[in-house]
A and B are shown apart, each in its own frame.
Chain A
Amino acid sequence: MQTFEYRQSTSVDQAVQAGARSKRAQQYADVRFIAGGTTLVDLMKLDVERPNQVVDINGLPLAQIKTSADGGLVIGALARNSAVAHHPVVQRDYAVLSLALLSGASPQLRNMATTAGNLLQRTRCVYFRDTAHACNKREPGSGCSAIGGHNRMLAILGTSKDCIASNPSDQNVALTALEATIQVQGVKGNQSIPIQDFYLKPGSTPNSENVLEPGDLIVSVTLPPPAPDTRSHYLKLRDRAAYEFALASAAIVIKVNGGRIERARVALGGVGTVPWRSREAEQVLEGHTADVALFRRAAEAALKDAQPASENGFKVELAKRCIVQALTVSTQSA
């Protein structure tokens, strides 16, 4: 860890100003906000993040969870993962989010982790997290050690020849299926960014993971109003029963009417370089009768472009089974 200056922000504007002094917003940002610290501090200890200034935003009034005028939900950037997971409205109307959060990390971590921090958590790729190895995400142009290395956990969708790191979040998969919007305040004012436009696939610049610029502070995440008679589910598959990142996960938001699927949202975790929305699967599902054969076709469609690395070929089939099971559960008559 290298030495850094620690500051506490007392207002959103002040935080934005402090952040704006950073030369870059992505890998090796020299100013970093700290929320729960469960990603940032780990990476600083590993020398993978080296901010010279850490701006504590925990004092900002951004922890509230409240319904919006249109009947949706506004989740403050600093709302803890545990608070969101146990919120009655989330449990009732956005079960997929509650399930996703509770499947992640441990109770202690969820009590610290925040909504915005979770949006910005970094990959768990071992080569990214160890400075002894080449990694294009960390040191652009140095090469990708994961390709041809230990990559059982890594991505099979959205990869590039420069990076196969997976986005490890559970929350963000649920938020993708829920079509959440991310509210950002920055030096240029306020922006509302739909989650599908927020993350960047690695391409040839895996060091850039999202659209944020220096000073951009996430203030909240908004969920659209729940459509009536919609059900949702999150299924996470992993080797052990708890406290492990997903090998594959699926978030489903679905409305079935008289056996026919009217609307479906499908997102995948553990397999994509970003939280993975599968419009291909949604297309197969919408307008058709919900049954296992259809689910399997949707799963095939979702994975048709998968490009496994040396150790993670099984994830293609695993993700398919995950989708089929998550669809089965979320369409079962109560």
Chain B
Amino acid sequence: MRFEEFVEFIGSQEGAPPKSLDANAPPPSAIIGAGVPRIDGPLKTTGSARYAADYNFPGLVYAVPVRATIASGKIQRIDSSAAEAMPGVLLVMHHGNIMPLYRNASGGRNSESRPAFEDETVYYWGQYVAAVVAETFEQAQAAAATVKVEYEPAKFNVDPSLSDSLPPEGEPGGPRVMSNRGNTESAFASALVKVDETYITPVETHNPMEMHATVAVWDGKKYTLYESSQGVMNHQNVVSQVLGVPKENVEVISRFIGSGFGGKLFPWPHSAIAAAASRKLNRPVKLTLSRKMMFSNSGHRPRTQQRMRLGATTDGKLLSLQQNYRNHTSYGDDIRENCGEATPFLYSTANLKVTSALVRRNVGTPTPMRGPGAVPGLFALESAMDELAIKLKKDPVELRLSLDTLIDEEKNRPFSSRHLKECLQLGAEKFGWSRRTPEVGSMRKGDLILGWGVAAASWGANRGVCETEVSLRADGTARVGCGTQDIGTGSYTVIAQVITDKTGIPVDKVDVVLGSSALPPGPTSGGSTATATFLPAVIDGVNAAIKVVLTVAGNTKDSPFEGKDPNSLTMTAGRVHEKGAPAASGVSYNEILHIANLASARGDGKSGGLGADPKSHNFSTHSFGAQFVEIEWDPGIARLRVSRVVSVIDGGRIINMRMATNQVAGAIVMGVGMGLFEETIYDPRNGHPINDNFADYIVPTIADAPQIDVHFLDIPDPLLNEYGARGIGEIGLAGIAPAITAAVYHATGVRVRELPVRIEDLMKTNAVT
């Protein structure tokens, strides 16, 4: 995602920048970086964490959508008479009778700009055309199956080839120039070594474990929406506009999320359907998507087709780099998959051009999926780099090291913290790369052929605006409130660790309250920006609360510090003492609160976005990584497995080593899925994503998980926040797929340029056996 697009969903950049890492500041205590187990772990393992669909209220009724069975056309008639006559049925809602829903014009980002049931037009297979609400889920489902919809079908297009003819570059509808420096055409023409290949990534469906769900409660004035949302604040903003009510009349609650991978960043139409039904019936309404619906109605990673042209000198200098990519989008929305996210700065080259084009298909609207843009983009770039290394007869790690740059040549600025070189070097060491023999099929283990591949990784780092409220309580506990949410990555725990670091209050005594739009505005959990965004605001909030304690200490009768200037006091590990005096001489903060007869000291925290910090304009800020992959190919039975992955991540300071490792390990397994299994296939005859279930859309099982070895450089990025933390939710996936295909080539001699790798690609006669 480009910086500008980040801004779109992290909000404005206004506000004071947080204190940057001061070289003289004491390092954070050992709790920062420690592998603290999740504080919400017991709730999850005992089944007491409540996810959206777990909310039940008296009078709750169930909505089940009816979905289009054509990919394009017009609804001519909806016959719901049979459904309406069925037991328990309360309402059949469709474009003819739904209350007005509006497009969001006043900011925030929606997933599909078209509200549910806007008119009779169908743009993709599976689009909601009606919804049945009944007393029980079973009644609603049975009735939904009887709703007859007549269509006038129109021509549609789900062609996986994106080679449509388009207007020329720069013209409306033509390729858009995303980056351009030097003269790529002439530099490429003059290059003695060239790679000119096209790489394809398929549609992938997010498939978080927890299905999307909305429980909508209308109380006559206000909606409360229990959601599975990666952004409660954005959801409130957008859905209030869709429903046509003031923002304060919508509260969005998302305490626990069974992950989202981007698919839950922005609201989907089911949310407003449930809300509208709740208002119409004056009853709480639950709408849960089925796994099948998740393949049509809640986004996907769009298909990409990327032509890469690399020109080099015979000794491996990169003369030019061109990336012309296309991705599909829907008929309703222009979703650009930013495949050139890392291209302009990953390697040093004087001549570079990236263009981007959209082609329309009759599919649901795409949405960001873990590492949007960069992940498919790096598949193309890193595959092309591997092909270049082979042409140059250079080791692929060496080639990347030789093209490393500490200047972002696109922006002409230094990186705030770039250690790609160290990632590659440490990864090579941990992996045992020096034992690699470069000839195809040259490494064996019994009957197996081993393949070793490498790829670099990169993902943006950024910080948005955030507010918090922090209370230090007289009973020795603390409370933090913030309108962000924990999508399963560990935000609850990371926030508690900050409080422990600053106050000495143990993590299990910190009450972290997230996942409600009624809390002080916090960031969307997306773009790997949430941690970097809320950290400074939590620090600001706890510092403000400590300041209240110090003021109280100085102002309260009978306080040991009565009459002292609060500025002469400080708090260390929970003990208030005079500056310069040892902490042991002090008094615990809760004792001060007791003396003052105060239940708590509250501080409000606030911090601004990275863009508002003038210093940020002098730097380019990204995370980096290196992925090393071993595959095993058994030609006798055409069996391909990823056996080993070493991942080294330069993601700033790591706040929680256990959860960070978790994130990267999970991303690696997802990368195995991207490399070998995942593809949503649209039936060309009707546009149905035909493998819309878990038997036919293959994701890795535990048995497919390779041996995983994750390392973090753990080097603070001073630009982002006091701790120097960036985000690590997405970068772990970047580079896995191209490292897999590089390893597959090394083992078999077959270069797979269209994901996923299928065994039939490797059974061709030219493959090594």
Contact = CB atoms under 8 A, between A and B. Distances in A.
Interface of A: 1-3, 47, 124, 126-127, 129-130, 132-133, 145, 148-150, 153, 235, 237, 239-245, 247, 313-314, 317-318, 321-322, 324-325
Interface stretch (B357-365, B427-435, B692-700): B692-700
B69 interface: yes
Contacts of A324: 636
A150 B703 contact: no
A290 B641 CA distance: 30
B583 interface: no
A325 B637 contact: yes
Interface stretch (B205-213, B230-238, B473-481, B680-688): B680-688
23 contacts: A1-B141, A3-B142, A47-B145, A126-B691, A127-B690, A133-B686, A133-B688, A148-B685, A149-B685, A149-B690, A150-B690, A237-B638, A237-B639, A239-B758, A239-B759, A240-B676, A242-B702, A242-B704, A244-B698, A247-B759, A321-B636, A321-B637, A321-B638
Contacts of A132: 69, 688
Nearest to A325: B637
Contacts of B700: 240
Contacts of B695: 124, 244-245
B703 A242 contact: yes
Contacts of A314: 759-760, 763
A242 B698 CA distance: 11
A26 to B, nearest CB: 22
Contacts of B681: 150
B704 A241 contact: yes
B677 interface: yes
B713 to A, nearest CB: 32
A318 B701 contact: no
Contacts of B758: 239
B138 interface: yes
B759 A318 contact: yes
A123 to B, nearest CB: 11
Interface centre among A145, A240, A318, A322 (most CB of B within 10 A): A240
Given A148-B685, A317-B763, A318-B759, A153 B696 contact: yes
Leading 6 A-B pairs by shortest Cβ distance:
A314-B760, A241-B703, A242-B703, A150-B690, A242-B701, A132-B69
Nearest to A243: B701
Interface of B: 69, 138, 141-142, 145, 636-639, 641, 676-677, 681, 683, 685-686, 688, 690-691, 693, 695-696, 698, 700-704, 758-760, 763
A325 B636 contact: yes
Contacts of B636: 321, 324-325
Contacts of A322: 637
Nearest to A235: B637
A241 B676 CA distance: 12
Contacts of B701: 240-243
B638 A241 contact: no
Nearest to B637: A325
A2 B763 contact: no
B696 to A, nearest CB: 6
A133 B758 CA distance: 27
A127 B681 CA distance: 13
B291 to A, nearest CB: 11
Contacts of A325: 636-637
Nearest to A47: B145
Given A1-B141, A150-B683, A314-B759, A126 B677 contact: no
Contacts of A235: 637
Nearest to B757: A239
Contacts of A129: 693
Contact of A240 (B677, B690, B760): B677
Contacts of A2: 142, 145
A153 B690 CA distance: 13
A47 B686 CA distance: 20
Given A2-B142, A148-B685, A149-B685, A239 B690 contact: no
A317 B762 CA distance: 12
Contacts of B69: 132
Given A133-B686, A239-B759, 11 more contacts: A2-B142, A47-B145, A126-B690, A133-B688, A150-B683, A150-B690, A239-B698, A243-B701, A244-B695, A247-B759, A321-B636
B494 to A, nearest CB: 33
Contacts of B698: 239-240, 244
Contacts of B693: 126, 129
Given A124-B695, A237-B639, A314-B760, A1 B704 contact: no
